[in-house]
Amino acid sequence: MQGVGAQTWQALIDGLQIIQLTDWLALGAEDLEQLPNFAKKRSAQTVQAFTQAKLQPFRAWLKALGAPASVTVRNGDNWQTLAALNPNSLLLLNQAPCPDLFFLYTTRSQT
């Protein structure tokens, strides 16, 4: 993600703004301004980078995350759907009959 390097991600993790992979989707400038070394300008730049990233095709993100080529992206698969999942829905997806579902793949790869 252009303009968001390892130091930025580490600051977000250290500041408990990112705990799960999708937490960055909900962050706004106000959230970032609460962190050390995140003035208004850096917060605005980071939020702008996040906004641009959200405009990228979900398929491109899966490739960047290293998802295998066999993973099929379905019409409803997107960051918003992923962010909305909770532990109970992940358990249900683990029992889903669709073996190439991205969410099923990610929950199994963590075990």
Residue 90 is predicted with a pLDDT of: 53
Taking Cα atoms as reference points, which of 51, 59, 7 lies closest to residue 28?
A: 51
pTM of full prediction above 0.75 = no
Length of the chain counted residue by residue: 111
Is 7 in a helix, a strand, or coil? helix
Structure tokens at 68: 């295998």
In the chain, domain spans: 6-54, 58-109
Q: What is the dihedral of CA 25, 31, 35, 41, to 10 degrees?
A: 90
Burial class (CB in 10 A: 0-12, 13-18, 19+), 110: exposed
Identify the top-confidence range among 5-19, 48-62, 79-93, 95-109: 5-19
